[in-house]
Structure 1
């Protein structure tokens, strides 16, 4: 058995859509008995409606950069945890304060506050009908188990700068991944590689071969661990870390099926 692990934004979801070629590639890949899933920085609630809309059927989802592992129907199998006191400290950091929004990911919903002009969270929630719960700063210490804290900025350079600052100050507890204009903060040790490893353990798929594909910095842990691929629109620095590049996810699946 083979397991395909595809990043979402910029990899499977490109040019504001999932192409029919990729939909067909996933269908044929699974038809011969292989497994397919998305390994993403997104919440499950933000991912599932889009996969359904475009006709992508999958066997699992690794969400929030490895912080949440789900069955195909969204049933949580495992999640990480960021201490609430750390989240409260992060929210007061001046660089973090420049974010368009504060989004806290739990297993079943996303909690939101500090939303400003430029944020895309509420817009996507309305478009794709996923659940947001609006909170205030004083509610942070009352949140349920949170496995990712997400931020948004105007430019990718600013997201990278903030990620480096967070990792310098809080790096013994959490890790911040830059992803274009987003910053995704997870518990230390959480990554897309760790998420895939945990998925394989939970599902009993230890003998499977992993085919990972992505396009950004947060994809590097899985690309390097599993000799993965990029799409050809990835930056040269990311492509240099991969085994090869393809025009699309569907093309990678077709060649390796």
Structure 2
């Protein structure tokens, strides 16, 4: 069995839509007995919102929170990696001294200038740049680490990865067949095996490799 691990925003979703051709290509890949995994920096709640908004039902598993959460094709939890309570309290306390922002629900966000506040991060956590955000997760957690768990679980013979952002670099590094796009930052493209213009070209390439 083969598997595609793909970022969502800016990758599967391009120009604020998922094209009909993209949907057909993913389904063609899955009908050959393979698995398609969405790998996102979004929280689980935001991921579910995105799936509903874009009517995306073409996945066999979801990796969210930059690898801290793994869900199956029915959105049941497979695994979660959480930071310990003391570390979370410390981060909230120390970052609040820079620029507090009130936010409802379980999530908490802060507005910081580039690099501001980063030196205070303890050794047991790590940060990923995610567009205008910085996502902080437990050390050892990443999109790549979570995807490797799924490849082991399902005995995947060949892995393809697709990404467009700085937080996708570990994802691109974990597969020999990795793809990014011409419009992406050079730092991201340097970690991809193949560069294409759009997602349909990437998926066409993967389907051709299989044929």
Alignment partners' CA distance in 1, 2:23 and 2:70: 22
- Kindly state the Cα deviation for residue 251 of structure 1 after the two structures are TM-superposed: 2.1
1:134 is aligned to 2:135: no
What's the counterpart of residue 211 of structure 1?
160
What's the counterpart of residue 140 of structure 1?
none
Matches within 5 A, 1:1-257: 1-56=1-56, 57-94=58-95, 97-98=98-99, 100=101, 114-115=102-103, 134=105, 151=109, 153=111, 158=113, 160-162=114-116, 165-166=117-118, 168-201=119-152, 204-227=153-176, 228-257=178-207
Unaligned runs of 5+ in 1: 101-113, 116-132, 136-148
CA RMSD, 1 decimal: 2.3
Report if the CA contact (8 A) 2:3-2:156 is conserved.
Answer: no
Report if the CA contact (8 A) 1:39-1:63 is conserved.
Answer: yes
Report if the CA contact (8 A) 2:95-2:110 is conserved.
Answer: no
TM-score (norm 1): 0.72
Report if the CA contact (8 A) 1:192-1:221 is conserved.
Answer: yes
Alignment partners' CA distance in 2, 1:150 and 1:219: 23
What's the counterpart of residue 118 of structure 1?
none
- Kindly state the Cα deviation for residue 53 of structure 1 after the two structures are TM-superposed: 4.1
Alignment partners' CA distance in 1, 2:204 and 2:193: 16
How many positions carry a matched residue from both structures?
A: 205
What's the counterpart of residue 119 of structure 1?
none
Alignment partners' CA distance in 2, 1:36 and 1:197: 14
